[in-house]
Structure 1
Amino acid sequence: MQSGLFPAPRIFGKRMAGNEDVVFVKCLDDSHKCPICLDVLKHATLTECGHEFCHDCLLASARGDRLQCPQCNKEVIVRDCFHDKKRDREIQDLIIKCDQSTHGCYWTGELRKRKEHNADCGFVREPCPLNCKAKVSRKDVQTHCLESCPKREISCRHCDEKLLYEQLESHHQDSCMQIPDECSYCKKMVARESIEAHKGRRGSCPESLLDCDFQRVGCGFEGKREALMRHLEDETAQHLSQTVVTMATQNDFLQKLLRDLKKTRKELTTCRSQLDELQYWAAKTPNWSITHSDDNHFVYLWKLDDWSSKFSSNGKHLSSTFYTAIPGYLLRLAAYLRPSSGDASPYLSVDLQLLKGEFDEHENWPCTFNVSLSVVNHDQKSAKGDHILCHTSAVAESSVATSACESLCLCSTTKEIQLSTTNRQASSFIKNNTVLVKLVVTIS
């Protein structure tokens, strides 16, 4: 035996839309009401005992393939119940009001035409298309979007800026510079951006308080625009007198400044002379050196004087120690003569040494340098320029210090120049028995 109220193919097709919220023009007859839910019959179903119920209401009362009639308590077989199409047609013929009758729609018509009418009814309420969260009757959507929606776009009537209606108030309070503002003096309405100019000296406000044009020369008058005009006319002589006194005072001050400037220039000239003299005597001292540092570019010039006697022996000569910067790395140059084969003059060799310095803990390790060592050419007319002793794009990796030590040779000469007082090649490099060694260090 098939369970359920009745076989679906025998009784029902697609379920009709519910009649909840339907408002009938006339009171319903009892024959059109379900005795269980007391509402209009929905898919009227007739039992074998002759009573009619809503399909869903009767189905809820079934127990397996049998049920007890809620009207007469007689036992009913489920498969013997059937769909009363005639009753459904009677119900569909009943006259109803529009679902939106409480919102002003006066349409009435058969129940079967309810869905068709709702599709075209102008009183159906829908969400605002501009997302203002309001629900508006379909017929009023356009009017709402153009006239009352807070999300509608409008133009500020003062500055023509495009903005949403809900932003208009804050725009007028904070950012619109064309909105009229009341002058605190004359109470006239003036554009916000022009209010200060309206109150100012070149403005038109008759009530604003203005200072005299000759305030800088001592006039203390303050008054309204009209009173200021009269003051300027009446006090011309006084203003002229005050101006003359002020100019005289300023002239005395200017003359004092000129005297002080002349005195400062004289002192500067004296200082320059003293500096030149100090540099002259510094150049006469042994082992004289000059340093110059610019960011990571460092230049050191070492003067090896008394060349003929100093390098007659095979000893090593050291420069003074110097820092590449403060703070920086501590370096030193070492020069010595390297013997040559045969009877030829010895060669000059120079080492660059890294020493333990007081700023080492603040520096980067391992240190990396680009180094150039050269002997300065004193012959300015020579096209050959300085003689390069050593030029490296970077110090050899094996020589790079990973930490400060007592002494480490970073690099030494790889090309030597034969320097002697009798060597023609060396004549442009030895001047007044002096050789200049130039070191250029770039810290990468």
Structure 2
Amino acid sequence: MTNLRRGRAFRLLAGGLGAAMTLSACMGGTTDSGKDAAAGYDPKAAVTITWWTGQPEEQEKVAEQLAAEYHTAHPNVTIKVSPGAPTTDDLLTKLSAGFTSDSYPDISYAYGNWAGDLGASGKAQDLTSYVNDPSFGWTDFPPAARAVATSGGKVIGVPALVDNLALVYNKKLFDAKGVAYPTDDWSWDDFRAAAKKLTDKSTNTYGTAYSVSGSEDTTWHLWPILWQHGGKILDGDKPAFNSDAGVAALETLRQMAVDDKSMYLDQTDEKYAPLFNSGHVAMMMSGPWSLLEIKEAKLAYGVVNLPGYHGDHQTVSGPDLWVLFDHGDVNRAGATRDFVKWLTSASVDPRWNLAVGNLPLRQSEKDSPEFAAYVKDYPGGDKFFANLENAKQARPTAPGYEVLSRNVGDAIAAVLQGQAQPKAALDTAAKKSVDAITN
């Protein structure tokens, strides 16, 4: 995904949620026979493969150029490129329908939180042996990205985008209130104290902001605080986010939203970033996708680690994937693997992700001239790249995660709006999520 996509910020629209439930309920688990989908692949065979990029117009043009370049070097491989759906959010619905009608692509962009349902569809290739070949450079991808690409013990995709949450702050607002800038060592208590000082109702300015839409944007911002407190999202196949750690994490946010009223509550996912850019929110937990619009707003800003608990500054990464699908044709399967290996290589990826304002996929790209140019264009990008080291855990790739996410998002929204207490809200969300995860 790209900067432009991040206005949606992992937002699960009703169609996407319904599609996930359809995949989980109707596909019922893998139909993989255990045979390698590309066994016996002839790299010289003439094949046509379909690539759903999930990208808006500007990025789609870059994808088309790269596909044409690959075809020039491999004239036997024709790549049909299209966005696949009107928006990235719609891809899961389109894939679900395609699995039923046998009209699904060879490669598709997918949000990382779809991995469990796509892995359970029985249509994704098992890439485990392929990516673990030393020539692929699998360990060059961040650990969280590799984890999200793995569902049911099998690698079902290759990272397409990596990111993470850090703390972005407006220097002008800090200076106006005489508040010291955040540091990498800040605690959540430090964050709360600063947010109170920076809140000024006379100018409609808030210390920080949070989405209460109930979407994945609401949910995934809680996970780093949960992990910092030693909690888990799942314990095996059982919800565990309603532990003491989860309650403490949500109480951290509740105090700012309800007690201090220093947190702007965004009902849509769409407002808090523009409010930050216009100088009405002093700090936001956001990712590298925000840098383009911040730059356009000409703000003096800084980027530091997320606040921590007892010195733990874990963050969450939201990797997205290129998922490769099996059509029962070894040559198509092999061609898709070779193309995605090329696309995500350390030599080609800078011309894809860095060219459209995303972080590089691979650690080995940090010394590339393209990364140096990216950091110059997007100050703070190097901080987000370094912050990948703090992404030590990944969101679950179990089928049903999206349903769990919606339940947790609703619980968070209720608590931050003063309609429920953390323990009761999380207990309710856990109870509602049991069947979604275990079925």
Please give the TM-score of this superposition, normalised by the length of structure 2: 0.16
Structure possessing the higher radius of gyration over alpha carbons: 1
Structure with higher RCO (Cα < 8 A, 6+ apart): 2
Q: TM-score, normalised by structure 1?
A: 0.15
Q: Higher helix fraction: Structure 1 or Structure 2?
A: 2
